[in-house]
Homo-oligomer: A and B are copies of this chain.
Amino acid sequence: MSSSEEGALHQSWAWPTGATRVAAVIGDPVSHSLSPVLHNAAIRRLGLDLVVVALRTTKPGIGTAIAAAREFGLVGLMVTMPHKQAIMEHLDAVTERAQRLKSVNYVYWEGDKLVGDSVDGAALVDSLRTDYEVQVRGKAVALLGSGGAARSIALALADAGAASVCVISRNLQTASAAADLAGSLGYVGVSADAAQADVVINATPVGMAGTSLSGLSPLSVDYLHKGQFVCDIVYNPLVTPLMELATAKGISCGNGVGMLVHAVATAFEAWTGIPAPLEEMQAAARAETLRRV
């Protein structure tokens, strides 16, 4: 991926041109995805002749979408619902963590092979470290939720050396499966167990704006106390109900913007071979989130 003078290409009224390479975000729905905005902000900052577009892909259309990605020589894909699992059979290879999670959230080329990886959990760990200076190594972590995001985070926490991962979810079966991904460090707990954690992570959609769960906290503030770090993977609103409760008690906390940024940055780097401009992506994510409120 060659780079021009900073952003010069993109100041033209005529960009993109016939020579501009294309990458895509696929999912259904996909119009709400922040990924294109983050990628295109980074691309413009670096002056690359690449554009990331959203291509709505229905559930039965995933095979067509991957065939098209190969035919068109797309630079890469970000993958969102409902394709994270179904896409796997259409790829040439998946990374070990994607295989363990049975989930892919971006696709890149390794030579002529289309490879799927799952980076959500690792992106959260990256965000905790670089955005909030929270190292998970040796920490007791309480993880709220047992869906795809929680599973990915459980695996990444174990990989990053957490002391324990307590999975708290109303669904005991999926909670147990998520805890298993953290190996011997993982176990299923109840809400009150969050009080013993050093780090509390909300990996449920509770509190997300525009949903029936908007305005709610996934955990009673009674189980939170000073000295903990509370991280919500929700980023809309930028300050979630859980974060409001924690902040009122003087507890440090963070939202899901950093996880999103690090996930997109990992894909960007796999596609372009160029370090992602994290600050530009973060600014774009915040601006776009605020624009939508």
Residues of A at the B interface (CB closer than 8 Å) are: 7, 10, 13-20, 22, 25, 30-38, 40-41, 44-45, 51-58, 61, 64-65, 67-68, 71-73, 280, 284, 287-288
Contacts and interface: CB of A to CB of B under 8 A. Distances in A.
B51 A34 contact: no
B16 A36 contact: yes
A53 B22 contact: yes
Nearest to A41: B14
A286 B58 CA distance: 40
A33 B18 contact: yes
A280 B13 CA distance: 10
Given A61-B71, A64-B68, A71-B58, A53 B20 contact: yes
A6 to B, nearest CB: 11
Contacts of A73: 56
B40 A16 contact: yes
A44 B14 CA distance: 8
Contact of A37 (B14, B32, B45, B56): B14
A284 to B, nearest CB: 5
Contacts of A16: 36, 40, 51-54
